[in-house]
Structure 1
């Protein structure tokens, strides 16, 4: 018996890296998985199809869909595939992402649009169609314990030079998840964010990051940046018994830390309008206080 027996989960960007690790782990825990990624060079199911075959060969349940998650009807297709193959949908793991790093003064319109489209729109589209399904199920008197897991990054939390497009999208995903939690809770749906620190094609494309995340030389040493380290946290978030919603969790190896959303911190207040001169004195002290909190 697995912790996810009977749960039906869609995973986007499932052909490689973290998405592949998620899909395999979820299936091992008993979930029935719908994997999606871009088509292969021959127009077939590509990497997602290969992972689905590996899962089925291990005696678990999976089906692959070739789709661009930024396309409107792809979200509908994913829901329909889950329902038609496995009788319903319980969770969506929005993992698909892309990097187009460039300093702002050199960033092109195409760099910006592609990063926003794949990372942010590619999270919205599957979520919207899943949310519509769960709302309809709830109204029909057959609610499901729905779960959304979105993917942000440390860049989306703290910013990073050379990634204005990626940072904007990933920061947007964090607040998008908060809205999902507030709007969809009435239908029994939870929404959370994972911030994974793991070795993927994206991280290996950045030399300094690739060096940091290199596999350990010592045989048997714990591989902190193995993508499978992140999978159990995602597995818990999509489980029927999980009650967390509106949370953001950073995962690196065996470390899991919670990240607080935007909030009021230190403040100054008075019953009168400030002058520029007064603010020039008070605001630097306010920020200094905030940094110490």
Structure 2
């Protein structure tokens, strides 16, 4: 049975706040999508709450993102979208769709995101995984982009998948419209590791706690560089990386010098040798 995260510490005050729960754990937080009766499909209200939850966690170094029940996220609520009245007039070209803005806010958030994939992640749910920097999957998790199966193109899940995995793997997921299991997701590089269901949240929080021990400025600017560098050639990537390094040192001020002093004195942090 897939483990549901412990949300006992979260005490939302309104029905909309219930749709995405936020648990404060010091330097990191746990965000939980909470529409189990709809397989955590993101209605317009859930999307508003998702963006509000991102704003609430803007001071955190790391955020673990997961879902309640047997689903991580089933993507956008297609039933609601299909039944929604047609908007009158045109939508300005520079005004993004709500789900597009959710993904943009996630990518622009200063925290490192760890997806704890507790069940199936379909369509927009797979996009959330791909836009999180790290991901841990429960053994029972499955991931897919089913849009082709009902005659549609995966508007965001498609490019997110193509940019994150090898071309043949992306084509397999997109054009077969079949779900892949957690072991296959690991083999394709969609997730970093697979753990027993009852260890999922614990493992994701271990990763979050470890990363949260690092400098907030380095994590924030490092995340921005990580996403930006993926679209650059080697020379431009080096220029951008050099500029990022300078910004981090400047923003840290005396803290940057203190870190180098500790290293020179023989104090070794994570990954810095014996």
TM-score by length of 2: 0.29
TM-score by length of 1: 0.27
Greater radius of gyration (CA):
1
